[in-house]
């Protein structure tokens, strides 16, 4: 399986990192080795002093597809969940400055937290509110209505480049409020009041 991630999909988050608003979605991948095993803590990697949490809505692809038209994209997923795209912001800043790929900053072991999924029918995907709590305090409060590209548009876009397969995941981008994690933090992801994940940082 593969993990396809979208960057810069919320205007306020683009602003907080002083990035340019993209003309098309920013896309990068994480390998399956990036997945944090269930019930494991996240260990801050030794190569970074500034690992950030980014809570994101996740889509689980349910069948193979290529060149999917956005209007048919909802046939390609049944479940949505939440996850974290852990990002070594200092490493990423270095990569950006040099025009290098982001994988060392974004695709390292444990960098993909994948929470519990729920049937998509339980939500209004165009108006889905979700939060990240750090030590029981809300640090990110997002809503899919603020996405620059909606879920079905993202599926249409990425499937022009990558054949989607059953079990693939799409990380749809983070809203504003990203920040650094420290040892002993506890991170909890909530979508419309339902807990999707809870992890410890070590
Ligand atoms: Zn992200």
In this structure, what token pair is assigned to residue 161? Answer: 């480049």
pLDDT higher than 90, residue 78 = yes
pLDDT number for residue 14:
85
pLDDT, tens digit, for every residue of 34-67?
999 999 999 999 999 999 999 999 999 999 999 9
Q: Please tell me the distance between residue 108's alpha carbon and the centre of ligand 1 in angstroms.
A: 13
Contact 96, 58 (CB under 8 A): no
Q: Please tell me the distance between residue 171's alpha carbon and the centre of ligand 1 in angstroms.
A: 7
- Position 126 confidence tier, pLDDT thresholds 50, 70, 90: very high
Contact 21, 11 (CB under 8 A): yes
| Domain 3-200: assigned CATH number | 3.90.850.10
Strand-pair partners of 29? 4
Q: Please tell me the distance between residue 86's alpha carbon and the centre of ligand 1 in angstroms.
A: 7
pLDDT higher than 90, residue 21 = no
pLDDT number for residue 6:
97
- Position 18 confidence tier, pLDDT thresholds 50, 70, 90: confident
Q: Please tell me the distance between residue 98's alpha carbon and the centre of ligand 1 in angstroms.
A: 20
Q: How many C-beta neighbours within 10 Å does residue 88 have?
A: 23
Q: What is the pTM of this model?
A: 0.96
Sequence ranges of the domains in the chain: 3-200
């Amino acid at each position: 399986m593969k993990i396809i991630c979208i960057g810069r999909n919320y205007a306020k988050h683009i602003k907080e990192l002083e990035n340019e608003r993209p003309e098309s979605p920013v896309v990068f991948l994480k390998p399956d080795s990036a997945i944090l095993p269930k019930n494991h803590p996240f260990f801050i990697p030794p190569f970074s002093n500034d690992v950030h949490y980014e809570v994101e809505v996740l889509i689980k692809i349910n069948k193979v597809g290529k060149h999917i038209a956005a209007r048919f994209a909802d046939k390609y997923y049944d479940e949505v969940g939440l996850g974290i795209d852990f990002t070594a912001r200092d490493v990423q800043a270095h990569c950006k400055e040099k025009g290098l790929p982001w994988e060392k900053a974004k695709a390292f072991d444990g960098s993909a937290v994948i929470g519990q999924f729920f049937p998509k029918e339980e939500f209004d995907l165009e108006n889905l509110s979700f939060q990240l709590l750090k030590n029981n305090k809300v640090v990110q409060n997002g809503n899919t209505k603020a996405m620059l590209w909606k879920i079905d548009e993202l599926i249409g876009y990425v499937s022009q480049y990558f054949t989607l397969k059953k079990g693939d995941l799409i990380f749809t981008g983070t809203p504003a409020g990203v920040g650094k994690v420290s040892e002993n933090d506890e991170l909890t992801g909530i979508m419309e009041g339902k807990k999707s994940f809870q992890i410890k940082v070590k």
